[in-house]
Amino acid sequence: MITGENSSANSVSTPSNSAVQMQELDPLTLGASEEVNTSSVCSESRKNSHSSKNIDVSVETFTPEVLGLRKKSPLNSSLYDLTFSEHSKMESEIRIGDGLKESTDGSTRVESMRGKTNEARRDEAITETSGVVTTVVSEGLSFVESTRGIVVVEEVALDRIHEFISGNVANLQNYNSCNNTVYEGKSDGQKSASVDRRCSQTVKSTENSEIGQSLQVSLPNIETFDEDSSDIFRKKFEDLDTKEIAEALTYELKKYSIPQAVFARKVLNRSQGTLSDVLRKPKPWNELRGGREIFRKMKEWLDLPEVKRIPQLRTEAALELDAKARRADLHGRGSKKSRLHFTDSQKRALFAIFKETKKPSKEMQNALAEELGLECGTVANFFMNARRRHPDV
């Protein structure tokens, strides 16, 4: 069984100054692949990473056989078959991937995360790993997530994946044949974007109730799996934390003095007001329809390495200022559509009615419009807007 919490440790500095404490260090593996991700969707972990806080991670060395892992791919591939034989409930969670590369001595590294909260595990996984393909198999997480090249799979999720694949087997070409790692050499963001489409990650897991049985899950080959199907797959399991994304983005924009207007226009292709609204009042993912797109874009941007996204946006900001000046100049010559503003008495009357009834009849709206000297459409708009903006009134 995996025991790692009490390991004594050597300390290795990573590019972002994190200290990784290990037993039986494998310098080749560390030197080549242990980059530390300095960004995270979670604002808290983002703050931590930006502050260059050292992170201690217990790492032990195990052979694949000890872990029930059967290496399937070439040495540098992250793809393994997992067989959770008698450890179906997984007392410990195992992180595999390039972090599990075979060492020069033929052993395999596994980081034990037992005893930590799911959030802690996820934050660590996000914060510590970069430039590698990492799979986190963690009991207690209830969804499949792709964050900066990290896939979190739990048995419940595996069941769902299996169920999905069963229903879409026609789309699964080269079912068990592909072994490629698709995002080697890509940026974090690219990895994240493509993580759901990566090819043939094979995971064998034991059902909770049926020890010894294994569930084989193969994700399709990116080369042969058509885009529509991969989209369906991605969207089926997508479950973004809109609040976290909104907080993280607000933090980033402030930190780098990026105006909402610039970000909204250049990255999201939306207006400043729209961005402000969703940042302040992000709706839960499951309540969104088309509004999910904006959060996907935010996350994609957050997933980009800072060196890439910040200078690019600053350049865009300068251009935006020029464009704004030109627009203002044009508007100055044209006419701006002025906006109606309710008087205090109109507002009081409208809200008084709204308090009583959220959906007044057409007749009532007409009467109200006449009484207040407003258009019927204006009154209808008021109630429409009030229902979503003041649901608690």
Q: Which residues bind DNA (CB under 7 A)?
A: 253-254, 259-261, 264, 269-274, 276-280, 283, 287-294, 331, 336-342, 347, 359, 362, 375, 377-378, 380-382, 384-385, 387-389
Structure tokens at 239: 């479950």
Structure tokens at 16: 């972002």
Cβ within 8 Å of residue 344, ≥6 positions away:
none
Q: Tell me how far the alpha carbon of residue 346 is from its chain's centroid.
A: 44
Closer Cβ to DNA, 68 or 259, answer by number: 259
What counts of helices (H) and strands (E) characterise the chain? 14, 12
Closer Cβ to DNA, 172 or 294, answer by number: 294
Task: Report, in Å, the least distance between residue 375 CB and DNA.
Answer: 6
Closer Cβ to DNA, 173 or 366, answer by number: 366
Closer Cβ to DNA, 159 or 316, answer by number: 316
Task: Report, in Å, the least distance between residue 366 CB and DNA.
Answer: 12
Closer Cβ to DNA, 333 or 341, answer by number: 341
Closer Cβ to DNA, 208 or 269, answer by number: 269
The count of other CB atoms within 10 Å of the CB of residue 254 is: 9
Task: Report, in Å, the least distance between residue 257 CB and DNA.
Answer: 8
Q: How far is residue 193's CA from residue 133's CA, in Å, rounded to a whole number?
A: 13
Task: Report, in Å, the least distance between residue 340 CB and DNA.
Answer: 4
3-state secondary structure of 288: coil
Q: How far is residue 101's CA from residue 108's CA, in Å, rounded to a whole number?
A: 6
181 neighbors 132 (Cβ within 8 angstroms) = no
Q: How far is residue 390's CA from residue 317's CA, in Å, rounded to a whole number?
A: 34
User: If you count them, how many residues does the chain have?
Assistant: 393
Q: What interhelical angle do 344-356 and 376-389 show, nearest 10? A: 60
Task: Report, in Å, the least distance between residue 260 CB and DNA.
Answer: 3
107 neighbors 62 (Cβ within 8 angstroms) = yes
Task: Report, in Å, the least distance between residue 6 CB and DNA.
Answer: 46
Task: Report, in Å, the least distance between residue 170 CB and DNA.
Answer: 25
58 neighbors 21 (Cβ within 8 angstroms) = yes
Structure tokens at 320: 């935006």
Cβ within 8 Å of residue 208, ≥6 positions away:
88, 89, 155
Q: How far is residue 213's CA from residue 43's CA, in Å, rounded to a whole number?
A: 40
Closer Cβ to DNA, 66 or 325, answer by number: 325
Closer Cβ to DNA, 151 or 249, answer by number: 249
Closer Cβ to DNA, 54 or 272, answer by number: 272
Amino acid sitting at position 110: V
Specify the DSSP element, H or E, that contains 19. strand 19-22
Task: Report, in Å, the least distance between residue 391 CB and DNA.
Answer: 9
* Closest to 98 in 3D by CA, of 90, 106, 109, 107: 109
Q: How far is residue 325's CA from residue 227's CA, in Å, rounded to a whole number?
A: 41
33 neighbors 115 (Cβ within 8 angstroms) = no
Task: Report, in Å, the least distance between residue 310 CB and DNA.
Answer: 15
Task: Report, in Å, the least distance between residue 360 CB and DNA.
Answer: 9
Closer Cβ to DNA, 106 or 280, answer by number: 280
